[in-house]
Chains A and B, each alone.
Chain A
């Protein structure tokens, strides 16, 4: 173990008192439950849908069902679109509010966070009210004589992506905001003085220096997207299910916990692969949690 100046060798007790409680929580509420899910994914069920500890690979065989494969792909497509849209929308936005000379800079920052203190379900439902056949947008368009019949905008992949972007965009705006704040103005001026065009400065200096924010935001958006079943329930109406919907069904109405566990293992593997890739390109784990 590497030695640092601030570290004292523990004679046991102080380390146990300080780190013991968190270790208990991690073991009993994180590690053991996940290990149990892994075990359950190899279990069978009896005719009353009880879990029986009889080894089987049937659950994993069931994962190859074409209907399921369709939903994995759809799920990845939704997550990918959401992440890309979040980057495209948040990048210039975070730049503008982080580098503004306005006195209201703190207010602008708070205005990004405030919407997210309202319950996320009711905000998603707000979009449904806005976009519905009898919603604000349709009514306004009819009043303005742009359309005569209400448009059917809801319950597709597009509205699901909209809801995901809405829920998750702060995870892109906030890390980018702090990267832009740290960006040294002198570097930009030097680049311009040396004859670089604005586009070249963006490509060679600004983007590389803020890449960390893009990657950590991307991870924190892509992974939840695969699981946010309530967004696709409310705005997708069953036409844009994600892997989370499949798992939710097996643990609630479907009541096949071993199959639900095998589906969860897929999500765990995707998560591990993405985190590994993130570390490989130099992303720090710490910036995921702050």
Chain B
């Protein structure tokens, strides 16, 4: 075989392999999307009974499912806001100041990252039970903050290490105090790290199963609702909601990636 022929064969093989992996990644997603349009009405909702979009309508009367999704959104938004604020402050403080116990805190931040979620979940459950804190929305939010805060710290810190600290000093030399310097100089420069950390915190929160499973009490989140429905067969309206969420996130990515949003904002 000629060298060019060989190279062509290699790219062909490479393409084939890449496509195979993408099929693997998207196969279960396509099952979800197809089953959301299945006309079957009997458990476990597996055999194909024809095409319908009725589940997308029925979905809006499934109050339990909708409220679980509402809970997930509340928990994700609150825990993301809190952990982003706390994590950003901590990253700046850990980078900036020398104080006792700094190495300890740096080390402790890795625990939520590496520890198996189930151990984290049962440890929080045990402590909430021991301290008689009723489990529900409040404990869910606390738990989500605690597992997402390190990711915000690390993301912001990565941003800090390649930025020029002298700008801050200049700001202080020109008479701005620490608080003013933080909000007018440090904060805008850290924005990429902050948004990256916040996005990660949000993603971790909406998909969390294991930790939520132990600290939820009677409050159902969307993943826990799915877990419950798996026992009796996932009904097509759950698939329909998942499809809508997927479409929503894809739309979000397209808008942010292509800067359409920025253009829209600018026009206003």
Residues of A within 8 A of B (CB): 1, 3, 5-10, 12, 14-15, 17-19, 21-23, 25-26, 29-34, 36-37, 40, 89, 92-93, 96-97, 106, 108, 110-112, 114-127, 129-130, 132, 134-136, 166, 169, 219-220, 223-224, 226-230, 234, 244, 247-248, 251, 257, 260-261, 264, 267-268, 271, 275, 285-286, 288-290
Contact = CB atoms under 8 A, between A and B. Distances in A.
Interface string B97-113: 11101110100111111
B51 interface: no
A93 to B, nearest CB: 5
Contacts of A17: 89, 93
B115 A7 contact: no
B98 A7 contact: yes
Interface bin, chain B: 35 or more
B25 interface: yes
B108 A96 contact: no
Interface of B: 14, 17-18, 21-22, 24-29, 31-32, 35, 46-47, 86-87, 89-90, 92-99, 101-103, 105, 108-120, 122-127, 130, 142-143, 145-146, 149-151, 153-155, 158, 165, 178, 203, 207, 209-210, 214, 222-223, 226-227, 230, 234, 238-239, 242, 245-246, 249-250, 253, 257
The main secondary structure of chain B at its interface with chain A is: helix
A124 B18 contact: no
B97 A18 contact: yes
- State the 6 A-B residue pairs at the shortest beta-carbon distance, nearest first: A18-B93, A126-B28, A227-B116, A33-B123, A10-B97, A22-B90
A7 B95 CA distance: 7
A169 B250 CA distance: 20
Contacts of A36: 123, 126-127, 130
A186 B149 CA distance: 39
Chain A interface mostly: helix
Which of B26, B145, B153, B154 has the most chain A CB atoms closer than 10 A to its own CB? B154
A8 B97 contact: yes
A144 B29 CA distance: 24
A30 B112 contact: yes
A18 B214 contact: no
Max count, chain A CB within 10 A of own CB: residue among B35, B98, B245: B98
Most chain-B Cβ atoms within 10 A of its Cβ — which of A25, A264, A286? A25
B226 A115 contact: no
A136 B97 contact: no
A29 B146 contact: yes
A40 B92 contact: no
Contacts of A251: 122, 125, 214
A127 B28 contact: yes
A119 B242 contact: yes
Given A5-B165, A22-B149, A126 B32 contact: yes
A83 to B, nearest CB: 14
A114 B257 CA distance: 13
B226 A119 contact: yes
Nearest to A224: B116
A96 B119 CA distance: 37
Contacts of B46: 129, 132, 134-135
Contacts of B87: 22
A1 B26 CA distance: 49
A267 B119 contact: yes
B114 A93 contact: no
A1 B103 CA distance: 9
Interface-centre pick from B114, B117, B143, B227 (highest chain A CB count, 10 A) = B114
B112 A119 contact: no
B14 A96 contact: yes
Nearest to A35: B123
Contacts of A224: 116-117
Given A121-B230, A122-B238, A227-B119, A289 B94 contact: no
A290 B28 contact: no
Contacts of A247: 118-119, 122
Contacts of A123: 28-29, 32
A9 B100 CA distance: 10
5 contacts: A17-B93, A115-B29, A117-B245, A129-B28, A223-B114
B124 A120 contact: no
Contact of A117 (B94, B110, B249): B249
Contacts of B27: 126-127, 130
Given A23-B105, A114-B253, A125-B234, A9 B122 contact: no
A9 B146 contact: no
Contacts of B222: 119
A26 B47 contact: no
